[in-house]
Structure 1
Amino acid sequence: MKQCFVIQGYGKKIDYTNGRELDLDASYEIIKTAVESAGLECVRADEIVHSGTIDVPMYERLLNADLVIADLSTYNVNAAFELGVRYALRPHTTIVLAEEQFKSPFDMSHIVIRRYKHLGEEVGYKEARRLMKELQEAIKQIIGNPVTDSPVYTYLPQLKPPQLSSQLFKSVAIPSAPKPSITLAGVSPSPVAQIVGEDNPSAKTMLDKAMERIKNDDFSSARLLLQEVNKMRPDDSFVVQQLALATYKSKQPSVLEALGAACEILKVLTPETSNNPETLGLWGAIHKRMWEECDRSECLEKSISAYERGFYIKQDHYNGINLAYLLNQRALHAMQDGNCEEALADFVQAKRVRKDVIRFASPLVDKLEDKHGRYWVIATLFEAAIGLGDKQAAAKWDAQAKAMDVPNWMQQTRETQAIKLKDLLTQYVELTNNNN
């Protein structure tokens, strides 16, 4: 069977030109379905079962694959590099994709780029069907009648494609499910094998299982899996972010130790200077929890700084609503210390942030199809209304949130945060009245 190799990032990635976060795994599902429907086997680098560096099997596939599909969405430098390698090795059978907001940083007018629309968390049903149909037709045409598509061979037509040890473009066999290893009597499989249910799983298999465990609040198991994926893909920011999340959420061996370990993991992404909103949101969350545990002002300051940068880069409700709450906390501390001017500045800033949060979040209520995502938007609008003293809006969002069929812990989290915010604002008002 002919083979297709997909060049693409994994998981959720940030498009730094506009701050959008795209789930590239959602794009890959569509690509894989289209490729398999066209009669080819399909693999992405994270699905390759290998030992040692991934570079060797990756370059083998860039040379030998019957078809390569490169998705340049989010301006992935690795994807662009690998596409260049493919163009240098093979004169034809390469397809280039990109999300519709992709703007090439260099001249690619001579390259056909097939566009698709990504909604962030997913590709819409109609768009998915359209893209699959377009890819299926393109694959059948390109495989059946190869035409030079590489700019290298277009402008250097006398160039001959390279050969590898007397084998001319032999298709690379893509491994299916790994063969089970022989288990000696009395020897238990590794913890990772027990969780996944197979020996020698691919990075994608482990990552998918880890994300499933995170959704089910099994952070300890997710942490084990992500540690293994991180060894295989140490430079993948999404894996690092999820490992930091699972680590601090696991609370093992203790809350503070887990938070400290998460900090060390995230430092690889230079959160102090990063412009990645997801990294900043995690850095803010970790230091917020540290501050709640130890009441150290430097933790509060780091959390505010991270949420502030994340909010103004991404203009999202998560970073924004946390920023507003922590500004109120800092205002209360300033008022308790008698620094009324600083307290007032933070209190006013918190109100302004909440107004921006409402402006950014309100349109999402009717757009989000994911139930849990929609719930958190409504919960955010509920908290923002409380922070602004808008009782009517708070009652409206409270009723909508209560009517949603979500796990009890989600309702409890929203209600607990509302109580904390109301208490915080009450304390601030009382201190303000006393100081006057």
Structure 2
Amino acid sequence: MSGKTCFVVQGFGKKTDYTDGRVLDLDASYAIIKEAVEAAGVECIRADEIPHTGMIDLPMYEMLLQADLVIADLSTYNVNAAFELGVRYGLRPGATIIVAESQFKYPFDVGHIVILNYKHLGEDIGVQEARRFRLALAEAIRNALARKETDSPVYTLLPDLQPPQRGIARPTPAPAGAGRTVAVESAARFFQDASAITGDVASGSDEAAPALPPTAKALLDQALAAINPADGRPSDFPRAVKLLREVRKQRPNDSFVVQQLALATYKSKLPDAEAALLEACRILEPLGPATTNDPETLGLWGAVHKRLWEQRSRPADLEEAIASYQRGFYLKQDWYNGINLAFLLDLRAREWLRAGEHDEAVADSVQARRIRREVVRLATPLADIADDDPQKRFWLVATLWEAALGLGDDAALARWDAEAGALKVPQWMHDSRQEQGRKLRELLASYRSLQSA
């Protein structure tokens, strides 16, 4: 390594682009950025990899000032990333690179600034695109560090402006890399975790290492592994909740962290199923589920209220679930919200029949079938594309299986049942599919029985 540092300004986890409803996996983007940076001989760090206590503000500002290079990813119109980019432009005249996903719609104020684009295929980046972007970014990094040109619009338009300096000057030149901040030095050891929180023990020397707080990234990675363990092992939702609460202390306004905490909370069923669901509602409230355009939040809000309906049989819970899935489906045109919406419409159709409202029941039943056909149209082309992630493929296949069950398509039902059963995913996912199938069969049978009565 050259002793130089690069600070990557970017969200982490999966984020929704509110201009089109697409969900992008920014961790996949960061993996490629990190490879390009390290290929140029530069140490790479993102905010969630810096060990710290409390809020990230101080080490973030130190990195924006002192990092030899900053790469800002504006994908999904990340307001925090745009703010940090502006701070960097005010602090340093050069060595700042902007990147964004190819469907990023340029605001007027950055239309004259060079932005390197990369392309997501679904949530992830394809192999060929990853290779192309890595090479293009590596070249941009080498140029930014070697040419020392002004790229900040602040210093370009105000050429007599002098960059700010910290109050303490070093009396003698320091060797390469010696001027790094405590935040950067700590970041170099971010793999160390806190056994008091995670229960893990770090390997290495018998000599006691300096105590470092766990990084948000380390905690989040462990939480996600607890939710979706490899090789079909059971999920540990209580542990995931514990870890995610710690992440949230560091990243209180990160929607992905809030969404995962809500998911793990209601899945934990602690202290009991209904209490866990109500706590998940409380966790999601700051994301504004009543007005949000985020399909991920809407999907979770719908899932929680669907389960609350099962617990309490309150019509308000059913209506809230339908409204959430409906808005999510029409915003994103995705199969996840669609398949859940179809089920709930059939459920409400049965309730209409029980109340003697035959016309309302028929309307919901017909709409449920139409949505299932639309789900099949949306999901079938994706099922023909190879996916190395068995969990992503499982939910896609499970959705097509449920759609076939609801439409009475026996051939498609057998095909997708065989494929879903063969995928190696956590057992709770297999159990969830089978339980949903049981509920749908019972629902359709009771609807037919009430209709013929």
TM-score when normalising by structure 2: 0.89
Between 341-350 and 422-431, the greater mean CA deviation after superposition: 422-431
Name the residue aligned to 1:247: 265
Distance 1:193 1:433, change over 3 A: closer
How far apart in 2 are the matches of 1:16 and 1:229? 24
Unaligned runs of 5+ in 2: 171-176, 203-210, 230-234
For 1:97, which of 88, 96, 99 is the aligned residue?
99
Q: Is the 8 A contact 2:53 2:213 kept in 1?
A: no
For 1:143, which of 142, 145, 165 is the aligned residue?
145
Name the residue aligned to 2:410: 391
Q: CA deviation at 1:110?
A: 2.2
Q: CA RMSD in A?
A: 2.1
Name the residue aligned to 1:206: 219
For 2:25, which of 23, 44, 56 is the aligned residue?
23
Q: Is the 8 A contact 1:5 1:62 kept in 2?
A: yes
For 1:36, which of 35, 38, 63 is the aligned residue?
38
How far apart in 1 are the matches of 2:50 and 2:169? 22
Q: 1:208 is aligned with what amino acid?
A: D
Per the alignment, in what secondary structure is the counterpart of residue 159 of structure 1? Answer: coil
The answer to which structure, 1 or 2, has the higher relative contact order (CA under 8 A, 6+ apart) is 2
Q: CA deviation at 1:318?
A: 1.1
How far apart in 1 are the matches of 2:254 and 2:76? 14
Name the residue aligned to 2:237: 219
Q: Is the 8 A contact 1:321 1:357 kept in 2?
A: yes
How far apart in 2 are the matches of 1:80 and 1:408? 41
Between 168-177 and 102-111, the greater mean CA deviation after superposition: 168-177
Q: Is 2:243 the counterpart of 1:230?
A: no
Instruction: Map 1:56-205 onto structure 2 (within 5 A).
Output: 56-167=58-169, 170-173=179-182, 174=184, 175=186, 176-177=188-189, 191-195=196-200, 200-205=213-218
Name the residue aligned to 2:206: none
User: Residues 343-367 of structure 1: CA distance to partner in whole angstroms, max 9, x if unpaired?
Assistant: 1111111111111111111111023
Q: CA deviation at 1:221?
A: 0.6
Name the residue aligned to 1:185: none
Count residues with an aligned counterpart. 427
Unaligned runs of 5+ in 1: 182-188
Q: CA deviation at 1:146?
A: 1.0
Q: CA deviation at 1:411?
A: 3.7
Q: Is 2:347 the counterpart of 1:329?
A: yes
Q: CA deviation at 1:418?
A: 2.3
Distance 1:375 1:179, change over 3 A: closer
Distance 1:147 1:320, change over 3 A: same
User: Residues 164-185 of structure 1: CA distance to partner in whole angstroms, max 9, x if unpaired?
Assistant: 214499543511327989xxxx
Q: CA deviation at 1:236?
A: 0.6
How far apart in 1 are the matches of 2:212 and 2:310? 41
Q: CA deviation at 1:256?
A: 1.2
User: Residues 297-320 of structure 1: CA distance to partner in whole angstroms, max 9, x if unpaired?
Assistant: 211111111111111111111111
Distance 1:249 1:172, change over 3 A: same
Q: 1:86 is aligned with what amino acid?
A: R
TM-score when normalising by structure 1: 0.93
